[in-house]
A and B are shown apart, each in its own frame.
Chain A
Amino acid sequence: GENVEQHPSTLSVQEGDSAVIKCTYSDSASNYFPWYKQELGKRPQLIIDIRSNVGEKKDQRIAVTLNKTAKHFSLHITETQPEDSAVYFCAASDGTASKLTFGTGTRLQVTL
């Protein structure tokens, strides 16, 4: 089955700096890669996703890149703000089975 690894487990950046979180996956059949943000005590929320026919996708300060050959994808947050502080999860799906395989999460702390 699919295995997703996520790094780093914790990340501290200063406000205004960029943050990068990286994930690798094992199943070459995976073709859908969402990212979820979970603020303290709240539900995980989808912030951006990418499908395997696209190499990069951007939404304001958030971007995701995908390298299918290397089987890794990354989340990039630019101009970080305190409200970006949360746990971020990457996930993968083969698009047929409806389950998502998640990484272990990255706790991002944006300091003033």
Chain B
Amino acid sequence: EAGVTQFPSHSVIEKGQTVTLRCDPISGHDNLYWYRRVMGKEIKFLLHFVKESKQDESGMPNNRFLAERTGGTYSTLKVQPAELEDSGVYFCASSQLNGGYGYTFGSGTRLTVV
């Protein structure tokens, strides 16, 4: 079974630019999550999709972040315009089950805003 795949693995952009991160979940996993870890801090929840619908986006920091999940398959997370504090590692995870069970994480995208 293929795992959760994230692109790119690293991205360095200048403040004010736009970046789009992509996540391909495990096939058949309706639940898709985005998390972010800022250096030295906790892995923090951003949002949760069930199929193509946003189930919970309470963790999205502000309106510079836009997440989509086309047709309930892959998801994108766009940051526009990027700020310095957006730097961190963005993780995607997917699961078949609700309730926080059975997460499979991707390897993350390390975003550096300079």
Contacts and interface: CB of A to CB of B under 8 A. Distances in A.
B74 interface: no
B48 interface: yes
Interface residues of A, number: 27
Interface string B73-114: 000000000000000000100010011110101111000000
A42 interface: yes
B49 to A, nearest CB: 10
Contacts of A41: 107
Interface of B: 3-4, 31, 33, 35, 40-45, 48, 55-56, 59, 91, 95, 98-101, 103, 105-108
A97 B108 CA distance: 23
Interface of A: 4, 6, 9, 32, 34, 36, 41-46, 49, 89, 91, 93, 95-105
A14 B108 CA distance: 30
Contact of A100 (B4, B40, B45, B106): B45
Contacts of A6: 42
Nearest to B102: A46
Residue from the set A45, A93, A97, A99 with the largest chain B CB neighbour count within 10 Å: A99
A48 B35 CA distance: 20
Contacts of A42: 107
